[in-house]
Amino acid sequence: MDNCSKQEILDRRYLDMARIWAQNSYCKRRKVGALLVKDKMIISDGYNGTPSGFPNVCEDENGITHPYVLHAEANAITKVAQSNNSSAGSTLYVTASPCMECSKLIIQAGITRVVFSEMYRLNDGLKLLESVGIETVWIPEENAGEHTAETSCASGCSCVSPSCAESKSSADNDASSLPFTPPVC
């Protein structure tokens, strides 16, 4: 087994663990999990939710996310900042690609690699990470035929669902406009 295969196996396992960690979220619309890994050790974890001391309610009565809800990446980064560990040179495993705000935190935290499984609705955060040389790796979750327009269609699926057809016609979700490529081993 070569190094690329070993790394991809580890990447998939850490992403699986991030998906399990996402289940801790009280958010109803979307549950996101994140793990920070350095030297094959998990140094921090996070999931999307409210700040300490707030009620564990992420959405209002209309299903709109409260503006104070923290993303999984932000929770993992702030948690490691309170510890004796350093995130410099670490890899962030997150179930959804980072937004622009989380990407800024990732850069400042010295994280050098981001591995994710679902495409966030915007890719400006990924473009920012790539612009400063942070490696981004997209490993789509393997759901035998079940997917959303944000995930599989960005990688060029051939389905015919209305949401996928709409995303295929959108330049924003065109795979050629994305700043990264899935790993090739």
The DSSP symbol for 147 reads: -
Residues with Cβ within 8 Å of residue 153, at least 6 apart in sequence: 147, 159, 163, 164, 167, 168, 173
3-class SS at 177? helix
Query: What is the H or E stretch that residue 91 is in?
Result: strand 91-96
Both tokens of residue 137?
């790796």
Is residue 73 part of the annotated active site? The answer reads: yes
For residue 84, give the nearest of 51, 52, 44 by alpha carbon.
Answer: 44
Catalytic residue selected from 73, 118, 146, 166 = 73
Q: Which residue's entry shows tokens 């998990």?
A: 42
Query: What is the H or E stretch that residue 135 is in?
Result: strand 135-138
Catalytic center residues: 73
